[in-house]
Structures are given as structure tokens and as C-alpha cells.
């Protein structure tokens, strides 16, 4: 497990041995797990996005573009 990104809005975890990427939107407490080619595409898009400076509005718009996959509420165990 590798934490790729963590800020007050977003938490991104890479599971390289499982070819999976977990994205947690801290704003609304939703999480999604991507696998295979979809996870690989997100790694590339996220890396490209972070290569440049963005204001909070642009960052939130980027997160919102993945809203359809953030389909599970976060729960505590």
C-alpha cells in the first residue's frame, strides 16, 4: 500500500500488488476502488494533473470528474 496523495480534500492510495487504486473524497465521505486499466488511467491523469499548480476550484473540479466512481460511503470499523 502506497499513499500517493493526502490533503484536506482527497486521499489516494495505490495497491500495486493488486493493480488497484483507492480514492477517498474527504469533502463528502465517498470512496471508490479502481482496478486494472481504469486504475492505470487514473494514475496517469492524476500524475499529469499534479505536475502543474492548481487553485482549489480547479482541484475540486478534477475530483468531481471522478464522482461517478466514488460510489461507497466511508464507514468506520
> Counting beta carbons within 10 angstroms of the beta carbon of residue 39, is it exposed (0 to 12), middle (13 to 18) or buried (19 or more)?
buried
Q: What is the pLDDT of residue 77?
A: 44
Query: How high is the pLDDT of residue 76?
Result: 60
Residues 34, 20: contact at Cβ < 8 Å? yes
Domain locations in the chain? 2-73
Lowest pLDDT segment from 8-12, 37-41, 72-76: 72-76
- Residue-wise pLDDT for 33-70, tens only, equals 999 999 999 889 988 988 999 888 998 898 888 888 88
Are 28 and 37 within 8 A, CB to CB?
no
Amino acid at each position: 500500500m502506497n499513499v500517493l496523495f493526502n490533503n484536506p480534500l482527497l486521499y489516494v492510495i495505490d495497491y500495486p500488488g493488486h493493480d488497484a487504486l483507492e480514492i477517498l473524497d474527504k469533502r463528502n465521505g465517498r470512496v471508490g476502488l479502481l482496478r486494472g486499466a481504469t486504475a492505470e488511467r487514473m494514475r496517469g491523469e492524476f500524475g499529469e494533473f499534479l505536475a502543474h499548480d492548481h487553485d482549489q476550484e480547479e482541484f475540486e473540479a478534477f475530483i468531481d470528474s471522478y464522482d461517478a466512481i466514488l460510489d461507497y460511503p466511508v464507514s468506520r470499523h
